[in-house]
Amino acid sequence: MSEDHAGPAATLAARVRHLEALLEQRGLIDARELDRSLEAFLARASPANGARVVARAWLDEGFRARLLSDANAALPELGLSMRGGLQEQRLKVVQNTEQQHNVIVCTLCSCYPIALLGPSPTWYKSPAYRSRVVRDPRAVLREFGFELESAVQVNVWDASAETRYMVLPRRPAGTDNLNEQALAALVTRNGLIGVAPA
């Protein structure tokens, strides 16, 4: 398991800085333009986006079906997308049920749907989480204070390629009369990763 981003990633970063300097020198980009677009991307990137998606899916069965079959096509219904980088990233939403619980990880690095969940928490990038959640997810969830019933099947999703994952948690009991905004307020970043019930 790679512990850091030295090696190819460091070389790539150096290449990017060099290219950036050349583009600036030749007046092809504004020196602050890249910073501004990065800042704008990060300002829009928040777990509140994922929470809105979940609340809509809890209320609207049609949306939920579209989200589960093709998340990238469903996100624009809420004004969201997986664009923001160089290319649109594929999103797969995995649904928790009474029988199945999902949890996401990237064992090789720290792949994560930043646009919908915001920057990832430090523990998500830690070697401890990445190596242990694939090996013994129930024990890791227990450390988050989340005890799953033994009858529930646990599915770990290791984002080892180009797809990014988000968990659709179960709607908490006793929330029948809540509106979309109130439901969204119940959804946490950890719920979207799968280490909390919602």
Partner 1 sequence: MAELFRPGDQVRASRSDPPHHTRLPRYARGATGTVLECQGRHPLPDRRARQLPARPEPVYAVRFAARDLFGDGDHTVTLDLWESYLRLAGLEGMR
Q: Is 109 an annotated catalytic residue? A: yes
Rounded CA-CA distance 77/24 in Å is 37
Q: Work out how close the CB of 194 gets to partner 1 at its nearest, in angstroms, rounded to a whole number.
A: 12
Which three-class secondary structure state does DSSP give residue 134? helix
Q: Are 94 and 156 in contact (CB under 8 A)?
A: no
Residue 46 or 155: the one with the smaller Cβ distance to partner 1 is: 155
**Is there a catalytic annotation at residue 69?**
no
CB of 42 or CB of 156, closer to partner 1: 156
User: Which residue number, 69 or 175, has a Cβ lying nearer to partner 1?
Assistant: 69
Structural tokens at position 168: 């659709």
Minimum CB distance to partner 1, residue 106 (Å): 10
Which one of 46, 81, 110, 120 is the catalytic residue? 110
Pairing assessment for the beta strands 90-95 and 100-105 based on DSSP bridges = unpaired
Q: Which of 2, 69, 81, 109 is catalytic?
A: 109
Contacts of 46 (CB under 8 A, 6+ apart): 117, 118
Residue 62's alpha-carbon distances to 50, 57, 98, 121, in angstroms, are 18, 8, 20, 32
Q: How far is the CB of 182 from partner 1 (least distance, A)?
A: 33
Active-site residue identified among 106, 126, 131, 160: 106
Closest to partner 1 by CB, 118 vs 137, is 137
**Residue 71 C-beta: closest distance to partner 1, Å:** 12
At a CB cut-off of 8 Å and minimum separation 6, what does 89 contact? 82, 113, 162, 163, 164
Rg (CA), the chain: 19
Catalytic residue status for 110: yes
Summarize as ranges the residues that interact with partner 1 (CB under 8 A): 1, 8, 90, 92, 107-108, 134-138, 153-163
Candidates 81, 111, 150, 160; catalytic one = 111
Residue 111: active-site member? yes
Catalytic annotation, residues = 106, 109-111
